[in-house]
Structure 1
């Protein structure tokens, strides 16, 4: 089995910004020259997540509403109290709940995503920053 690993840096604005990274995943699989296997997409941060969604404006808006209702930013989070100056306790909780990675199978060099499935990076933090996304392709 062969392994091909690529790290991509993406500048994010925070505040539940959603960035479609499907093209980066396709590029990593293509560059690996592997025909069948899996690709793991992993974000190296605790206030961001990777997920698969139907990437359209309604879902993007619904995603923001979902997180705002489930884990409100304006609640009194202990992370913010214990760490003076921090305001991103909710960002950590959102990242924990959603998780840092997804794994996608591929065959004949192509991702086996459904018609409407897209891979997105979601930044829950309260400020802009660069995010590192690790794309690890494994297969034959």
Structure 2
């Protein structure tokens, strides 16, 4: 069980590293000066590769978490686990939102300001903080 927990933590941390950096690339894309096609294309390539890699990390993180929850009953029937599962759903939603934003940016549609992306970039910090506090403190 400790191996499953350890690998779950490694994949979650790796997944979040991607979720921390991907919106930062969006900030840079929003700041590209008009006409700088090479810079824009380079940033889009980086964002696409990072999204693909981050998505590959999310799979094992979620599967190992499911294994811990179902296979070992960790947190089953406890309020903190229900709250953590809500946070997990929010993280999945954030990941999906990043993918949708990247598609829109790639097509040149609905480009938001760099300030908006800076605020958007803070969301995973609070999601990770919520998940960690729920798991460690088990407040209810």
TM-score (norm 2): 0.32
Which structure would you say has the larger Rg? 2
Higher relative contact order (CA 8 A, sep 6+): 1
TM-score (norm 1): 0.32
More helix by percentage: 2
More strand by percentage: 1
